[in-house]
């Protein structure tokens, strides 16, 4: 224990007192070592323990430096204390006056090492010991959520952590109505309708039928509430399914069970708690964040699928805790005296810091039965020892220890709750409604003022407000919602984009306003299927169509192993073997997996490695076995080549290379093989004149390049390296740098260049043409991916996201504010470049220069962000929305894209290999990226243009009748009396005008072929000119002119009876609206013609059934006909002439293409 630095206890002598069957050992603080025996074997263990503890201690020190302390979930409760200490009590003795001092010192000692528990007792006379128990350090209540969890923790400790419940619902029984009503009535548009409808229940304000005010609003609310309730019910069903999934947990059993099987109990996912030992089977979802203790594979490794977490379809290798993997079986875990320390939960799925501490078994000997201390075995835990929630165990079975549950899991922390989205068109109409309300109020006050504020003038103001309420027609909301339903139906029934689903029917118009497209890479732009396309050997280059020549040369090389072969054959043989060997590593390992049907597939953390291994198999050299100690290959001749794995140097984003040292078991030859990016390998390999040029050629083709090299090692040189490497690996400071320096000094010098491979990541169908078309449509495209910076750059080139000869500016590993500022200044001076930035640098820029970064980057034509977490993707989407006030569309296919999709104005999910999670969370679901073209350029265009025209026309319809009412009231002594009452008002908003006006949702200004051929037309839509203040005030003036003309002309032609003025003006109004619809239509549809004719006939027939409004003898007279015709001509003919002149003088850009 002296190897572990402990705080001096003021010279007091302490001893470890036996408890619960452990041996006690006297240890004085001035003793040179606690391990006098077996020193040679203990040195390495002690060094490893020191390293692990130092790593944890250093990290804790950093956390404390930030104002936080390590939190120990311990308590003075006796039952919990026994559970935490595994019955190893803190026994304390001594004089009474020393109790407090010693207790404080012991607490300090204990709290300084979170993962090592030390049992301390005084050397005072045993007779005077009182058996007093020291309380473990109390929990530090605060923000820090780090934890030390013992095996079999007490319930009081387990209950301190969140329940492992998945909850994606937006509402519950109590919040449903309040939240839905709030979402609806926070818009002034709806609130105005509500107030008008409620006013009709006050007798003094009542005008007309109550149903005409209440029914439309009730209809809209009922539809909205029904849809929200259904969507939330579906979310509840999915949550219930996830929460009720059964999992086996290991737990001690009192009943007699078979010794071959450990005792297990099935519990639902929602009942899992921190400290549970969960047994996972193949293809089972990981229910919480677990430390991997044991796997069914003897090597202690397993593969997991992380596509719903990070979007990558490659299998990831995870490694079990070595101490647990070495146990005889899973049952032994139940008797283990160990604990796990885990840092506070964070969002980063690539980072985890923790330790596994196990109390070593007591060692006794005849000579020293009680003199061997209890040395805890401490092992560091990293992200590769952890299974994150929502990943899936790909093969075998495993046992995990729950460390984070519920809201503290990485998956939940990277998920944002969906917001209720409102379209820009709805917000614009809401703003116009406020203007119309102000106009209505001003008009009401003016009319009352002109009457001299006589009598109960405030009642008259309210009655005028209700009379003019049709200025903001309640039918507008109904018409728009019905229009959105039509657009959604057209999208889903489009045969050219099959299986497209509209999940949010309130947003089709948004598709026509997109200015920024944020796309995932893997599975969205690419299929994530790799294929080896090129092999360059320096003297020879092989394309995809000449690989059979490689196979022939390889067969000759192995078939004539005893004869001298030419240089090319040897080169191919060694290069191929090199690629095979270098595919084997610890963290990103290619392993042959036998499927249930007997077929063998390769799995690895990087798909390009699988592609290379599959290629070597196709040319005759097959990987048949791989674990962490051995690799077996089969040559074309059928012989087995066996290599012993000596050292592995995994790939890191800093080193950009990976290496392996292997020994040929037959020849005993030791070889160091390395592969990596050309930028780093060029400095390591021997001088050559072709590598840089060939790498550039392959990069231009969008291929992922890997440089292969090797170095033969003698036994002496390897042993020298091994000693130095071992020394560096146990250093406490700058360990990684020290190990890297040793590798660089002893191995990475003057390597023999073997070859260069080019691997193609297959793109989704028509990705290049889709991105080009969207760019021409004025949409700026960002690619946000969790992949490496080199891979993302290759894909950006191959998808033509980056234009030919466009400068690509890479920003990576920014550490300081000055570096970030310099990069931003450079980007500001070069706005035509493509930016490629990694996640850490992106976060630094957002933290320090958020507004400047967004302002500069949003002007670039393309941006590629690599190593992005799901939260970063969502943050970028929100920042672009907030800063530019433009519409942002996000598209992705994995669970890691859900937050980004929900943060966008329009979220599009692709149903792909990564499941349906993104599709279910999105507003629109498609099956191919290329479908985005038609969705935006055609359906988006139509939805926006039609809704804008429909909205303005419905407002015009309400305005014109309000102007007629205002003129009538002004002439008839400012009386708040309705000109058109009862069924006339009901019919005006429904059967007399609704069908022709609603037929505008079928109008289109250009053909589909033209819209797709000239995507530049889309740019005009993003300017929002179809519905703006300019067009609104134009329609306002038209309404004032037409309403005034109809009312004044009707009064001039007044036939001495009030009934006739109603008949003349109302008939002229209906005909005027039908003509205005006809003037607005660009391309006629059969439904439009039908609706115009049928509506006219319905109006004519209704006159017969409404004798209280229409005098039939007058209506069928010639006088009525010519007067109505004259009024309609005065109101609509000037507008037709103006439209004709405009179409000749200043035609719309779309009409030029027709």
**391, 388, 417, 314: which is closest to 901 by C-alpha?**
417
Is residue 365 within 8 Å of 239, Cβ to Cβ? no
Q: In which region does residue 981 sit, left (phi positive, over 0), alpha (psi from -120 to 50) or beta (all else)?
A: beta
Count how many Cα atoms sit within 13 Å of the Cα of residue 709 in the half-sphere of its side chain: 27
Is residue 1112 within 8 Å of 1056, Cβ to Cβ? no
Count how many Cα atoms sit within 13 Å of the Cα of residue 789 in the half-sphere of its side chain: 21
Coil/strand/helix, residue 439: helix
Which residues are tagged catalytic?
520
Any residues with CB less than 8 A from the CB of 307 and at least 6 apart, and which?
Answer: 313, 523, 894, 895, 896, 913, 914, 915
d(CA 237, CA 231): 10
d(CA 139, CA 147): 10
Query: Across 162-251, where does the E strand assignment appear?
Result: 246-250
Geometric angle at alpha carbon 607, from 306 and 404, rounded to 5°: 15
Is residue 433 within 8 Å of 1032, Cβ to Cβ? no
**63, 124, 79, 76: which is closest to 99 by C-alpha?**
124
Is residue 588 within 8 Å of 603, Cβ to Cβ? no
d(CA 852, CA 848): 9
Any residues with CB less than 8 A from the CB of 998 and at least 6 apart, and which?
Answer: 479, 482, 483, 950, 1091
**How many residues does the structure list for the chain?**
1154
* H/E element, 278: strand 277-280
Q: Which residues pair with 657 in a beta bridge?
A: 676
Any residues with CB less than 8 A from the CB of 1019 and at least 6 apart, and which?
Answer: 777, 778
Angle (deg, nearest 10), helices 188-199 and 424-450: 40
**871, 822, 872, 870: which is closest to 842 by C-alpha?**
872
Count how many Cα atoms sit within 13 Å of the Cα of residue 497 in the half-sphere of its side chain: 27
Handedness of CA 802, 806, 810, 811 (dihedral sign): negative
Edge to edge, what strands does the sheet with 14-16 contain?
A: 25-27, 14-16, 121-122
Burial 1060-1076 (b: 16+ CB within 10 A, else e): bbbbbbbbbbbbbbbbb
Handedness of CA 426, 432, 438, 443 (dihedral sign): negative
- 3-state SS track over 155-179: HHHHCCCCCCCCCCCCCCCCCHHHH
Assigned token pair, 405: 């549950």
Assigned token pair, 1004: 């289109």
């Amino acid at each position: 224990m002296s190897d572990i630095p402990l705080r001096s206890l003021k010279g007091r002598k302490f001893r470890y007192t036996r408890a619960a069957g452990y041996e006690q050992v006297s240890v004085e603080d001035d003793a040179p070592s606690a391990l006098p025996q077996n020193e040679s074997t203990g040195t390495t263990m002690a060094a490893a323990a020191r390293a692990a503890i130092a790593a944890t201690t250093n990290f804790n020190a950093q956390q404390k430096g930030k104002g936080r302390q390590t939190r120990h979930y311990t308590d003075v409760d006796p039952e919990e204390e026994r559970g935490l200490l595994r019955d190893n009590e803190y026994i304390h003795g001594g004089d009474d006056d020393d109790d407090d001092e010693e207790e404080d010192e012991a607490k300090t000692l204990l709290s300084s090492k979170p993962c090592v528990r030390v049992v301390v007792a005084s050397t005072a006379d045993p007779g005077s010991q009182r058996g007093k128990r020291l309380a473990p350090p109390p929990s530090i209540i605060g923000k820090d959520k780090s934890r030390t969890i013992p095996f079999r923790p007490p319930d009081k400790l387990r209950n301190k952590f969140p329940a492992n419940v998945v909850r994606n619902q937006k509402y519950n029984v109590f919040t449903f109505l309040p939240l839905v009503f709030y979402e609806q009535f926070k818009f002034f548009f709806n609130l105005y309708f509500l107030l008008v409808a409620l006013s009709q229940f006050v007798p003094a304000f009542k005008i007309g039928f109550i149903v005409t005010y209440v029914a439309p609003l009730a209809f809209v609310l009922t539809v909205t509430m029904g849809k929200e309730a259904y969507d939330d019910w579906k979310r509840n069903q999915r949550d219930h399914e996830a929460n009720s999934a059964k999992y086996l947990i290991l737990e001690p059993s009192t009943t007699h069970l078979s010794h071959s099987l450990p005792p297990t109990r099935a519990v639902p996912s929602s009942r899992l708690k921190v400290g549970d030992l969960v047994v996972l089977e193949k293809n089972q979802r990981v229910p919480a964040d677990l430390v991997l203790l044991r796997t069914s594979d003897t090597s202690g490794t397993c593969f997991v699928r992380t596509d719903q977490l990070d979007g990558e379809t490659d299998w990831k290798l995870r490694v079990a805790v070595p101490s647990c993997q070495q146990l005889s079986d899973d049952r032994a875990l139940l008797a283990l005296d160990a604990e796990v320390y885990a840092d506070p939960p964070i969002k980063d799925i690539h980072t985890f810091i923790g330790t596994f501490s196990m109390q070593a078994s007591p060692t006794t000997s005849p000579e020293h039965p009680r003199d061997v201390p209890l040395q805890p075995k401490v092992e560091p835990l990293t992200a590769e020892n952890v299974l994150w929630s929502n990943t899936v165990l790909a093969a075998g079975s495993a046992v995990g220890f729950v460390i984070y549950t519920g809201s503290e899991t990485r998956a939940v922390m990277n998920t944002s709750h969906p917001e209720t989205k409102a379209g820009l068109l709805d917000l614009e109409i809401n703003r116009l409604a406020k203007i119309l309300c102000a106009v209505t109020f001003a008009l009401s006050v003016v009319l009352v003022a002109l009457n001299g504020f006589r009598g109960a003038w405030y009642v008259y103001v309210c009655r005028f407000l209700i009379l003019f309420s049709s200025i903001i027609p309640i039918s507008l909301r109904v018409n728009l919602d019905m229009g959105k339903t039509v657009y959604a139906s057209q999208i889903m029934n489009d045969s050219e984009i099959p299986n497209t689903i509209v999940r949010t029917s309130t947003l089709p118009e948004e598709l026509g306003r997109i200015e920024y497209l944020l796309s995932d890479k893997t599975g969205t732009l690419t299929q994530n299927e790799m294929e080896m396309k090129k092999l360059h050997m320096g003297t020879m280059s092989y394309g995809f169509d000449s690989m059979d020549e490689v196979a022939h040369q390889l067969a000759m090389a192995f078939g004539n192993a005893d004869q001298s072969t030419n240089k090319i054959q040897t080169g191919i043989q060694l290069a191929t073997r090199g690629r095979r060997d270098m595919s084997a590593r610890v963290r990103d390992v290619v392993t042959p997996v036998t499927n249930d049907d007997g077929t063998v597939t390769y799995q690895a953390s990087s798909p390009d490695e699988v592609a290379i291994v599959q290629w070597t198999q196709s040319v005759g050299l097959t990987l048949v076995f791989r674990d962490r100690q051995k690799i077996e290959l089969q040559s074309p001749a059928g012989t087995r080549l066996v290599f012993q794995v000596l050292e592995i140097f995994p790939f890191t984003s800093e080193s950009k290379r990976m290496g392996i040292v292997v020994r040929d078991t037959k020849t005993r030859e030791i070889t160091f093989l390395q592969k990596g990016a050309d930028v780093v390998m060029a400095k390591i390999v021997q001088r050559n004149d072709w590598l840089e040029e060939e790498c550039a050629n392959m990069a231009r083709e969008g291929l992922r390049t890997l440089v292969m090299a090797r170095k033969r090692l003698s036994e002496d040189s390897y042993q020298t390296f091994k000693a130095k490497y071992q020394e560096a690996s146990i250093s406490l400071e700058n360990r990684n740098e020290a190990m890297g320096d040793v590798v660089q000094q002893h191995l990475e010098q003057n390597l023999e260049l073997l070859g260069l491979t080019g691997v193609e990541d297959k793109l989704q169908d028509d990705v290049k043409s889709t991105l080009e078309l969207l760019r021409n449509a004025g949409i700026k495209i960002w690619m946000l991916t969790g992949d490496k910076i080199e891979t993302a750059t290759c894909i950006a080139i191959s998808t033509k996201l980056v234009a030919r000869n466009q400068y690509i500016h890479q920003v990576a590993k920014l550490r300081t504010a000055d570096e970030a500022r310099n990069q931003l200044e450079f980007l500001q001076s070069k706005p035509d470049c493509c930016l490629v930035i990694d996640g850490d640098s992106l976060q630094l820029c957002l933290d320090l220069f958020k507004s400047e970064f967004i302002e500069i980057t949003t002007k670039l034509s393309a941006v590629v962000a690599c190593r992005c977490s799901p939260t970063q993707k969502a943050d970028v989407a929100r920042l672009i929305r907030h800063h530019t006030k433009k519409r942002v569309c996000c598209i992705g296919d994995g669970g890691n894209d859900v937050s980004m999709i929900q943060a966008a104005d329009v979220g599009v999910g692709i149903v792909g290999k990564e499941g349906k999670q993104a599709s279910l969370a999105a507003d629109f679901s498609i099956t191919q990226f290329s479908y985005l073209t038609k969705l935006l350029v055609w359906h988006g265009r139509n939805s926006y243009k039609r809704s804008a025209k429909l909205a303005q026309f419905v407002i015009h319809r309400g305005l014109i009748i309000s102007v007629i009412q205002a003129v009538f009231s002004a002439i008839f002594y400012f009386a708040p009396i309705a000109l058109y009452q009862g069924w006339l008002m009901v019919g005006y908003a429904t059967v007399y005008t609704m069908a022709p006006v609603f037929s505008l949702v079928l109008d289109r200004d250009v053909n589909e072929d033209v819209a797709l051929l000239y995507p530049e037309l889309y740019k005009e839509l993003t300017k929002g000119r179809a519905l703006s203040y300019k067009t609104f005030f134009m329609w306002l003036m038209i309404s004032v002119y037409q309403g005034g003309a109809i009312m004044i002309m009707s009064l001039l032609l007044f036939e001495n009876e009030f009934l006739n003025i109603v008949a003349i003006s109302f008939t002229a109004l209906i005909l005027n609206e039908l003509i205005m619809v006809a003037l607005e239509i660009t391309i006629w549809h059969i439904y439009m013609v039908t609706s115009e004719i049928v509506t006219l006939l319905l109006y004519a027939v209704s006159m017969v059934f409404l004798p209280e409004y229409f005098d039939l003898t007058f209506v069928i007279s010639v006088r009525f006909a010519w007067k109505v015709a004259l009024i309609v001509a005065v109101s609509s003919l000037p507008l037709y002439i103006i439209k004709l002149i405009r179409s000749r003088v200043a035609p719309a850009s779309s009409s030029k293409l027709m």
